[in-house]
Amino acid sequence: MTEYLIRLLAPKYKVAVLSRGYGRKTHGFRLANAEDTAQTIGDEPMLIHMHFPDVPVAVCADRVLGIKHLQQIIPDLQCVILDDAYQHRRLKAGFYILLTSYNKLYVHDHMLPWGTLRDLPAESVRANAVVVTKCPSKMQAIERRIVSNSLQLASYQQLYYSSIKYVPLQLSATPLLVTGIANPAPLLEYMQQQYPCTQLLAFPDHHAFNKQDIAQIIQRANQYECVVTTEKDYMRMLQTPLVEVLGEKLQVIAIQTDLGNDQEAFNRQILLYVSENNRK
């Protein structure tokens, strides 16, 4: 979603991205540069930095301080896209997009550690837009109504539905899928639809591959002609011998947000908000 917003806004506005930089080895505010890696700014910010080298990407656990630094560095800054900042009370954003998974809506979930929520379900009232993610690619009207009735959004809140879009790979053999993401199930399902015998080697989200992990991956990879991983995992693999050892055997699959028929309305709401607030 962060990359989707960059593609939408960057051609028209001076945009910067601010993330916490989870999993990095550095501290404080840091503006991404050519020497940075996943270890210095985190895997997700590094991926965004590589995809959009002309867009300033910064990391800072203190989002208020991070924005102040960005405003000093970029005087003509018009818009800051905050990654995973809904629960940060010290910073009041102008527009909130709340993402919730189709298979586990926030109204059916619980706060950590019982569930996966990092904020109270009641705080959903702060959202300007709610996007239901990981929806079936061919979602029926009745399915939309069931979700809408479950969420019971306020009249000022807009509801959208999105699905995952994978960039197809052309593989000549059954792959080993290696992931370090929160929920590899959708990707595994997709891969097994294309290559039924795909096997999964899963690590925790943002996992830093140590020597034992690397040895395990290489040992398993020796049993396959192809290894597939995500772009986010690849950012961390770059700091290990894996990329060199696996060579052309290693394939990276890209992911995109697909808003389908909701794309036009979603884009219009975002662009209208940014346009009006820049005029002010």
Report the mean per-residue pLDDT for the chain.
95
Cα distances (angstroms) measured from residue 152 to each of 105, 147, 168, 179: 12, 9, 36, 35
Mean pLDDT of 31-58: 97
**What CATH number is attached to the domain comprising 211?**
3.40.50.2300
Chain center to CA of 191: 19
Q: Is 80 exceeded by the pLDDT of residue 134?
A: yes
The structural domain count of the chain equals 3
pLDDT of residue 194: 94
CA-nearest of 36, 42, 74 to 55 is: 74
- In tens, the pLDDT along 7-24 reads 999 999 999 999 999 999
Confidence of residue 278 (pLDDT cuts 50, 70, 90): confident
Residues 202 and 269 in one domain: no
CA-nearest of 253, 198, 209 to 231 is: 253
* Range of the structural domain that residue 273 is part of: 94-164+257-280
3-state secondary structure of 258: strand
Residues 157 and 266 in one domain: yes
Q: Is 80 exceeded by the pLDDT of residue 280?
A: no
Domain assignment of residue 109, yes or no: yes
Domain assignment of residue 31, yes or no: yes
pLDDT of residue 279: 64
Residues 140 and 177 in one domain: no
- In tens, the pLDDT along 162-204 reads 999 999 999 989 999 999 998 999 999 999 999 999 999 999 9
3-state secondary structure of 69: helix
Name the pTM for this structure. Answer: 0.93
